[in-house]
Amino acid sequence: MQSSFDGLPLTGFPQPEWNNAHSVSDALRATQSASTKEASSSAYDKLLYALGNNHAGTYYPVALVAVPALETILREGQFWAKSAALNVLIELCGSFEPEPEFEVFNGEPLSSALLQKVAAFLPVIEGLAVTTDVVGRSASDLVDAMKDVSLP
């Protein structure tokens, strides 16, 4: 599995003003290395704050850069890492909305761009949804959330 997220192409992707140059990569590393329920919950919070405003339920265009890393975690990560990644994706694809002023990014609705990136690996998510454990239930919730949205 990718051991470092330092090489993410963040240039040109607006992110929260409280982020520093390593906020997104640090949050993805925390997600990738989550090995307990507590670490998974902490990584979930850290990543949602690196990608947006968890309290306001918003995300910035930098979320588009994180989605492929989350796919890698879902494909290759350990149980609690997958749980954190799925829960972040549930928020991003479900209840969260683009941060005001970033509803459109590069001429496309940000929410549509994000959903298309996640829809591209929906078979991976569906494969995780076959169990009844925490990961399986979260994967099922994400599949349901994706069904409730309309993709262009």
Domain boundaries, the chain: 23-147
Q: Round the average pLDDT of the chain to a whole number and report it.
A: 92
pTM: 0.93
Task: Kindly indicate the confidence band of residue 10, based on its pLDDT and cuts at 50, 70 and 90.
Answer: confident
* DSSP H/E element including 43: helix 37-51
Average pLDDT over residues 135-146: 93
84-129: pLDDT as tens digits: 999 999 999 999 999 999 999 999 999 999 999 999 999 999 999 9
- Return d(Cα 147, Cα 152) in angstroms, integer: 13
- Return d(Cα 89, Cα 135) in angstroms, integer: 12
Distances (CA, A) of 59 to 1, 8, 142: 26, 17, 17
3-state secondary structure of 69: helix
